[in-house]
Amino acid sequence: MSKHFKLKRGFDIRLKGAAEAVLEDAPAPKSVALKPTDFSGLTPKLSVKAEAQVKAGDALFFDKYNPEILFTSPVSGTVQAVNRGERRKILEIVVEPDGKNEHREFTKADPSKLSREEVRDQLLKSGLWPFLKQRPYGIIAKPSVVPNNIVISAFDSAPLAADFDFLFSKEKSALQSGIDAVKKLTDGKVYLGLSPKQSAGVFASLKNVETNTFEGPHPAGNVGIQISKICPIGKSTTIWTLSPQALVFIGRLFETGKLDLSKTIALTGSEVKAPKYYKTIHGALLTDLLKGKTKNEVNQRIISGNVLTGTKVDTDGYLGYFDQQITIIPEGDEYEFMGWAAPGIDKFSASKAFFSKLLPKKEYVLNANLHGGERAFVLSGQYEKFLPMDILPVHLLKSILVNDIDKMEQLGIYELVEEDLALCEYACTSKIKVQEILREGINSMIKELG
């Protein structure tokens, strides 16, 4: 019973620097790292010390409040360092690969023949569990819960996003095994959201899932938007989500009995000489991957992820846990004389207030400048255009600012995570930090209701 949803609201930021469909091997990284900061609300507790020897699949740390949730090393090697930030907050656990490729052994089995508990335990022990996210709130799924449904988006509509059909064209069996495995975790359905372009790709041929297509601009590929159309979340609903990449990791785990976290990412953005795809590993150090591939060495911003939701990293930073792309844009830390008054033929905008509107096909270089000062909410009706849900974003954000839990609940905080409102933040005239406010609201919901 496949449905087609046509979404009108949303917006595609036309950035320069999309990856060409060419795949190269990235040089083997000198180190890999897991970053607990990639998970909202996680309190990590180390299970290894620096200098310890680990195999791929050995735990590096775990969730303090759910100790069964492990985070495991993607490679075999030595724990090089535990990098901490302010107040000794753990930022990175770095492992230096020894090249021996030793693996911890897990059960090799057809997941459709296993029980729910067996699948769950295997995911927890292997360290793949954290890929499962729970809605509401967008936090790591609770192992004790059985979700109503599991929803997967098979495409990414964010600016310069990787083409998932290209990434996973050879992973059909792993994707299928992954679906068979997560299907065990719910009594409901596993939904897969496709874009209209994917009707013939690897995702369209998967079984044991209910597929729907979502047509329209970004955020059509956001799983939260898709959930709101097929199985809206209320107070007592729990939906789990995961990425196609996670399905592949899970599939490989059950097919081989080993943790194999090699993955393909897109190197994109206007500051990349030749944007294309690279084969690397989960949590890889970016230094060697980026060497010689950027137009400048300075005045650039390297983002693990996309320009809307990604994390700023340095050249010696690491690929984020969920990220499928690296984007590099100019930093833009310079003054512009009377910039706000210029006609703006070269200024891409979601508004109609610049002459660039007359060039509807052109792709633009955007930098990280704020292009204005932060103000109070002045305009109305601006955010709604970017959110294909029946939600009033400004009213919700205001209820968060006054910490009104009831209102937040009524106005739809259960249905949203940061990425769903990222476009509003991009387009905001008042430069309001929409994603930050939303996370504050979600955190107070968690605190209040558990």
Q: Per CB under 8 A, which of residues 6..25 are in contact with another protein?
A: 13, 15
Residue 425 makes contact with another protein by CB under 8 A: yes
Q: Which of 394, 417, 442, 445 binds another protein (CB under 8 A)?
A: 394
Instruction: Identify which of residues 28 and 368 has a Cβ nearer to another protein in the complex.
Output: 368
Alpha-helical regions (H) of 51-115 = none
Instruction: Identify which of residues 90 and 391 has a Cβ nearer to another protein in the complex.
Output: 391
Instruction: Identify which of residues 60 and 302 has a Cβ nearer to another protein in the complex.
Output: 302
CA distance 15 to 274: 15
Q: Which of 225, 413, 434, 442 binds another protein (CB under 8 A)?
A: 434
Q: Which of 83, 166, 395, 405 binds another protein (CB under 8 A)?
A: 395
330-359: contacts with another protein (CB under 8 A): 331-341, 344, 347-354
Sign of CA dihedral 193, 194, 199, 202: negative
Closest distance to another protein from the beta carbon of 411 (Å): 7
Q: Which two tokens stand for residue 130?
A: 């954290």
Assign 175 to helix, strand or coil. helix
CA distance 122 to 72: 12
118-177: contacts with another protein (CB under 8 A): 159
Nearest to 376 by CA among 332, 301, 430: 430
Instruction: Identify which of residues 118 and 210 has a Cβ nearer to another protein in the complex.
Output: 210
CA distance 244 to 192: 10
> What is the phi/psi pair of residue 358, to 5°?
-75, -10
226-245: contacts with another protein (CB under 8 A): 231-237
What track of x and - describes contact with another protein for positions 48 through 87 (by CB under 8 A)? ----------------------------------------
The enclosing H or E element of 267 equals: strand 262-268
Assign 277 to helix, strand or coil. strand
CA distance 188 to 389: 23
Count residues near another protein (CB under 8 A).
76
User: Residue 327 pairs with which residues in a beta bridge?
Assistant: 268, 303
Closest distance to another protein from the beta carbon of 42 (Å): 18
Q: Which of 79, 179, 307, 387 binds another protein (CB under 8 A)?
A: 307
CA distance 422 to 221: 13
Closest distance to another protein from the beta carbon of 152 (Å): 18
CA distance 356 to 367: 16
Instruction: Identify which of residues 390 and 448 has a Cβ nearer to another protein in the complex.
Output: 390
The enclosing H or E element of 398 equals: helix 393-401
Residue 433 makes contact with another protein by CB under 8 A: yes
Nearest to 450 by CA among 193, 235, 175: 235
Instruction: Identify which of residues 1 and 370 has a Cβ nearer to another protein in the complex.
Output: 370
Q: Which two tokens stand for residue 68?
A: 């069964």
Closest distance to another protein from the beta carbon of 90 (Å): 20
Q: Are 128 and 107 in contact (CB under 8 A)?
A: no
Closest distance to another protein from the beta carbon of 131 (Å): 24
Closest distance to another protein from the beta carbon of 46 (Å): 26
CA distance 224 to 116: 25
Instruction: Identify which of residues 166 and 364 has a Cβ nearer to another protein in the complex.
Output: 364
Q: Which of 309, 317, 393, 408 binds another protein (CB under 8 A)?
A: 309
Report the relative pairing of strands 4-6 and 210-215 from DSSP bridges.
parallel
What track of x and - describes contact with another protein for positions 373 through 392 (by CB under 8 A)? xxxxxxxxx--x-----xxx
Q: Contact region for another protein (CB under 8 A) — 52-60, 242-250, 272-280, 423-431? A: 423-431
The DSSP output letter for 258 is: S
